[in-house]
Amino acid sequence: MRSENADAPHSTLGMTFRTTRFVSLALLLLVLCGWSATAASARTSKILAFGDSLTAGFGLPPEQSFPAQLEKRLRAAGFDVQVINGGQSGDTTAGGLARLDWSLADNPDLVILELGANDMLRGIPPATVRANLDKLIEKIKASGAKLLLAGMQASPNWGKKYEEEFNPIYLELARLHGVALYPFFLGGVVMKPELNQPDGLHPNARGVALIVEGIAPRVAELLGERS
């Protein structure tokens, strides 16, 4: 006659096996979750340098352009970054507004907005420049990206009234929207022949390096801030 407990060892072994398998799967899941979190935290930060020929690197080899030099500088400082060249030579604030959505499709973590120089050179009314920049800033903020607004200053040939209306635009918008401001993108470079190409408008490689030297600490600060 078969004992009532004859199957007990087999039942116990089965339960032990199932428990062990469950624990192993749970441990594996925890390891995978931990790896995913580590991978996410180590993700390369994307920086979109969005602007005109000053950003695009007009007249320069690609490796000497502003985005390339900025990426090299930040990587040397220990930041895992990719700086996307979103410059378009000849672009105005209106042109930038028309193509911004396409550029934001890359989902950048930080956008450096450098536009307005061509508007100024063409004598576009400061009120129009301000309105376009205002919309650009709103779109970038809505995307979730951090923003560094790069300021521009008017050339004296348009007269004092134009300067008085144009020059305050960037500071006023930065305050209005609560975004970071780099006061003058060409600071320390403009009107210095040794730092510019023969046209007197576009920085040479040395000029770009000086711009990067000035702006890189501000970019690094923004990258280091936690959302």
Q: Are residues 7 and 78 located together in one domain of the fold?
A: no
**85 with 184, same domain?**
yes
Task: Let me know whether 149 and 193 are in one domain.
Answer: yes
130 and 36 together in one domain: no
d(CA 3, CA 224): 71
User: Which pLDDT band, with edges at 50, 70 and 90, does 18 fall under?
Assistant: low
Per-residue HEC secondary structure of 168-212 comes to CHHHHHHHHHCCEEECCCCCCCCCCHHHECCCCCCECHHHHHHHH
Mean pLDDT of 73-94: 98
Asked if 28 and 103 sit in the same domain, the reply is no
State whether residue 146 is helix, strand or coil: strand
Same domain, 101 and 125: yes
Range of the domain at 162: 43-224
Number of domains in the chain: 2
- How far is residue 90's CA from residue 223's CA, in Å, rounded to a whole number? 29
Select which of 91, 109, 143, 202 is catalytic: 202
CATH assignment of the domain containing 118: 3.40.50.1110
Can you give the pLDDT at residue 42?
62
Q: pTM (2 decimals)?
A: 0.81
**Where does the pLDDT of residue 6 fall: very low under 50, low under 70, confident under 90, or very high at 90 and above?**
very low
Average pLDDT estimate for 196-211? 97
| pLDDT value for 96 | 98
Q: Active-site residue among 3, 10, 199, 227?
A: 199
Averaged pLDDT, 13-31: 47
Active-site annotation holds for 52: no
Active site residue 202: yes
Tell whether 124 and 207 lie within a shared domain: yes
Condensed to tens digits (0 to 9), the pLDDT of residues 154-174 reads 999 999 999 999 999 999 999
Cα–Cα distance measured from residue 8 to residue 204, given in angstroms and rounded to the nearest whole number: 84
- Co-location of 98 and 141 in the same domain: yes
Judge whether 7 counts as a catalytic residue: no
Torsion sign (Cα): 88, 125, 114, 188: positive
Q: Which residue has the higher pLDDT, 29 or 134?
A: 134
Same domain, 12 and 82: no
- For residues 121 and 97, is the Cβ–Cβ distance under 8 A? no
Catalytic residue among 52, 53, 91, 109: 53
- Do 38 and 75 belong to one domain? no
For residues 3 and 68, membership in a common domain is answered with no
- 220 and 167 in a single domain? The answer is yes
